[in-house]
Amino acid sequence: MSGSGDDTGTEPSDETLVAAVARGEERALELLIRRHGGWAARFAERLTGNAAMADEVVQNGFLKIWQKAGTWEGRSRFSTWFYRVLHNLAIDQLRAQRNDHDELDESLHDERAGPQRLAERDQRDARVRAALATLPERQRLALVLSHYEGCSQAEAAAILGIGEGALESLLSRARATLRNALSDERGDIT
């Protein structure tokens, strides 16, 4: 990408990169992947509960960027738009594999933890993932964006395409449902 600021030590903005991707510049897509791939993978895994499914969601998300970069109108930040793309792809994946619910309950393992602590954490994590999976899609997304992704209330509302009051309502209902499902683990979700 000539003229994108690589020689000056400054990184091009997301907007500049998306415009370059729309022109077919592969290097611009590589920079977007490097810049946004980490959070995108974490977000997709939190939505799907499965690392392999999350990888597929993220790959398809960047493929969509490659294919649809010219349609991005820039009315919101790139990351807000990409959150929405990833959300839609994750929901599509979950719907396609709804009968394969066991895949959503895989546990992550930390080899440094002791056996007792590892077992306790895995049980808690499995219960939280199972409880999250039972939430309606919009409540789950609101909770993931606000609590796991650290989005501001305004950004989470924009990603969901709703007002901040509606976001608060979704979060309140999601928290209440999780509290009921995890009544003996209240401290883990508040």
Domain range 114-181, CATH architecture: Orthogonal Bundle (1.10)
Mean pLDDT of the chain: 78
Amino acid residing at 82: F
At 59, is the pLDDT very low, low, confident or very high (cuts 50, 70, 90)? very high
pLDDT at 2: 39
Three-class SS string for 92-107? HHHHHCCCCHHHHHCC
Domain with CATH 1.10.10.10 in the chain: 114-181
Percentage with pLDDT > 90 across the chain:
24
The whole-model pTM stands at 0.57
- Band of pLDDT at residue 38, cut at 50, 70 and 90: very high
Of the chain, the percentage scoring pLDDT greater than 70 comes to 79
Residue 85 vs residue 122, higher pLDDT:
85
Strongest mean pLDDT among 4-18, 28-42, 105-119, 170-184: 28-42
The confidence score (pLDDT) of residue 118 equals 65
* 3-class DSSP string for the chain: CCCCCHHHCCCCCHHHHHHHHHCCCHHHHHHHHHHHHHHHHHHHHHHHCCHHHHHHHHHHHHHHHHHHHHHCCCCCCHHHHHHHHHHHHHHHHHHHCCCCHHHHHCCCCCCCCCHHHHHHHHHHHHHHHHHHHHCCHHHHHHHHHHHHCCCCHHHHHHHHCCCHHHHHHHHHHHHHHHHHHCHHHHHHCC
Could you report the per-residue pLDDT of 97-140, keeping only the tens digit for each? 664 444 334 444 444 556 666 677 677 777 777 778 788 888 88
Which residues lie below 8 Å from residue 56, measured CB to CB, with a gap of 6+? 93
Bigger pLDDT: 182 or 114? 182
Residue 37, pLDDT above cutoff 90: yes
Using the structure block, give the residue that is written with the tokens 């909770």: 143
| Domain ranges in the chain with CATH number 1.10.1740.10 | 7-106
Residue written as token pair 């993978």? 41
Per-residue confidence at 31, pLDDT binned at 50, 70, 90?
Answer: very high
Segment 136-177, tens digit of pLDDT: 888 888 888 887 787 888 888 888 889 988 888 888 888 888
Query: What CATH number does domain 7-106 carry, 1.10.1740.10, 3.40.50.800, 3.40.50.360, 3.40.640.10?
Result: 1.10.1740.10
